[in-house]
Amino acid sequence: MTRSVLFYVQHLLGIGHLRRALYLTDAMARDGLAVTLVTGGDPLPELARSAARRVVQLAPIRASDASFRNLIASNGRPPDEALWSARRETLLAAFAEAQPDAVVIEAYPFGRRAFRHELEPLVAAAQGRSPRSLVACSLRDIVVAPQREDRQREIIERVRADFDAVLVHGDPRLIGLEASFPCMSEIADRLVYTGYVTAPVPPLDGSGTAGAGEVVVSAGGGAVGGTLLRAALGARRRGCLADSGWRLLAGPNLPPDEFAALTVELPAGVTVERYRSDFSQILRRCRVSVSQAGYNTVLDIIAARTPAVLVPFAEMSETEQSVRAERLAAAGIVEIVPAGALSPERLGDAIERAAQQRPAALRIDTAGARRSALIIGAMIANPGDPDIFTKFNMPTGD
C-alpha cells in the first residue's frame, strides 16, 4: 500500500524555503511516498519540472519588502478575507484528496505565524483523520526566535500539543538549534537533526569554462540583493581583482530597474546575468564567491570549497544569516562583511583577503533530504515508536 505525504511550504521573499522543500519532496518520492506539495508563494518554473510530486498552488501571497511585516497578494494589495478563505479551502481540499499519512509543515509554528488561520485548520484535519495523520515541522538550522517570552511559550505549547516531530535540517556539530531557540530542551523528545538538505553535487563538467578564475557575486533570488550587487560593482570599479573576470548573478526577483542600472557602462570583463542553471559548477571553478549567507547558498559554497565572502542579510532584526556566517568564519571557511558596514572599500578588501586563502575543510552532514524521507517513512510505518528518533538522530559531538 502506497503511503502518502502532504508537504506545505510558504516562501515570502526569497526562494530558499521552496528549493529546500523541492529537495525534500523529491527524496520522499524517490523513497516511494506519494507526495502532494502545497505552495503558497509566487510560482516558480521548477514546480512544473518534476513528475515525482503533485503540486497544489494556493493563491500567491508574498512579503512586500524585506521587513516581512506586510503581506501582499498578486494584485499588489493586502490579502483580504476572500483570498484567505480561498486559500484555506484549496489547502483543505488538497488534504481531503491526498488523505496523507503524514503532514509536513515548513517553519510553522517557529515561523509563518501570519498563516496560522489556514495552518490550524490543516492540523485539525490531520488530527481528525482516521487513522490520524502524523504532523511534523520541517525547520532550517537557525530560526528567528521571537523576543517575547509569551511567544516562545506559545511555540513550545503548539509543538507539544500538535506535532509528532520537529525535523531540524542541520548538523549540530556546526550549529545546534539552541543557538537560535534557547527553549529547545523543552521539545527535545520530538526533535531530530536530519543533516543539511541540499541537491546532490554533480561531478565537475570538464567541458565548461564559465566561472573559471572569476569573482562570482550571487544574490540568490535577488529580492534583497541590490545593495550587495552595487557594492561589488563599486569594488571592481576601484580595481579589486581587476585581473579576473567578474560575474554578477542578480537573481530572478531583482527589480527590473535595478537590474538595468547594473548593466550601464560595465568595466571590461564584467558580466551581469539573472540566473545560471550551472551555478554549482561555476562556484567550483571561480576564484572568489561573494554572496549573502542564505541556507542554500552557503551549502553550495561549502561543497565547492571556494574562497568566499559573506555579507549576511540583517535587516529588521533578522539574525539567521549573521549567526550562520559567524560560525563559518570561526571555522576558517569564509570572510565576513557585516551588512551595516558594507561599502565598496570594505567589500573589496575582504575579496582580496579571500583570494589569498584556501578554505578549511568542514565536516558536516549533507544527507538531510534522504534522512528526512527515511524518518517520515519510519514514522508512518511505526507510529508512536519512541526509538525512531534515537535511530536517526545525529550525534552532537565531533
Task: Work out the average pLDDT over 207-223.
Answer: 86
Task: Write the CA distances from 390 to 102, 134, 189, 378, integer angstroms.
Answer: 20, 18, 10, 12
Residues spanned by the domain of 55:
4-198+366-392
Tell me 248's DSSP state.
Answer: E
Cα(367)–Cα(191) distance, rounded to whole angstroms? Answer: 17
Query: Whose CA is closest to 330, among 140, 176, 174, 196?
Result: 174
Measured CA angle at 92 (ends 88, 96), to 5 deg: 170
Band the pLDDT of 317: cuts 50, 70, 90.
low
- Using the Cα atoms of residue 212, residue 215, residue 221 and residue 222 in order, give the sign of their dihedral: negative
Buried b (16+ CB within 10 A) or exposed e, 340-376: eebebebbbbbbeebbeeebeebebbbbbbbbbbbbb
Cell, residue 217: 557575486
Backbone angles phi, psi at 132, to 5 degrees: -60, 140
Backbone angles phi, psi at 207, to 5 degrees: -85, -15
Task: Work out the average pLDDT over 214-225.
Answer: 87
**Does residue 125 have a pLDDT over 60?**
yes
Same domain flag for 194 and 290: no
Residue 285 inside a domain? The answer is yes
Same domain flag for 146 and 75: yes
Q: Do 106 and 10 touch, CB atoms closer than 8 A? A: yes
Q: Do 52 and 25 touch, CB atoms closer than 8 A? A: yes
Q: Which of 12-16, 79-83, 392-396 has the highest mean pLDDT?
A: 79-83
**Helices and strands of the chain, counted as H and E runs:** 12, 15
Residue 62 inside a domain? The answer is yes
**Does residue 316 have a pLDDT over 70?**
no
Residue 210 inside a domain? The answer is no
Same domain flag for 97 and 26: yes
User: Which CATH number characterizes residue 69's domain?
Assistant: 3.40.50.2000
Task: Work out the average pLDDT over 155-172.
Answer: 96
Cβ–Cβ contacts within 10 Å for residue 318, how many? 16
- Please name the residue that has the C-alpha cell 502532494: 36
Cα(312)–Cα(58) distance, rounded to whole angstroms? Answer: 30
Same domain flag for 50 and 90: yes
Cα(96)–Cα(88) distance, rounded to whole angstroms? Answer: 12
Band the pLDDT of 207: cuts 50, 70, 90.
low
Cell, residue 105: 509543515
Same domain flag for 245 and 338: yes
Q: Do 212 and 247 touch, CB atoms closer than 8 A? A: no
Residue 208 inside a domain? The answer is no
Same domain flag for 192 and 221: no
Residue 207 inside a domain? The answer is no
Average pLDDT, the chain: 90
Band the pLDDT of 391: cuts 50, 70, 90.
confident
Residue 343 inside a domain? The answer is yes
| Number of folded domains that form the chain | 2
Same domain flag for 48 and 134: yes
In single-letter form, the type of residue at position 169 comes to: H
**Does residue 200 have a pLDDT over 90?**
no
Residue 206 inside a domain? The answer is no
Query: Whose CA is closest to 144, among 22, 316, 299?
Result: 316
Residue 31 inside a domain? The answer is yes
Q: Where are the beta strands (DSSP E) in the chain?
A: 4-9, 34-39, 53-57, 61-63, 71-73, 102-106, 134-140, 165-169, 191-193, 215-218, 246-249, 270-273, 288-291, 308-310, 335-336
Same domain flag for 351 and 297: yes
Task: Work out the average pLDDT over 323-347.
Answer: 93
Same domain flag for 69 and 143: yes
Same domain flag for 377 and 292: no
Q: Do 297 and 278 touch, CB atoms closer than 8 A? A: no
Same domain flag for 348 and 376: no
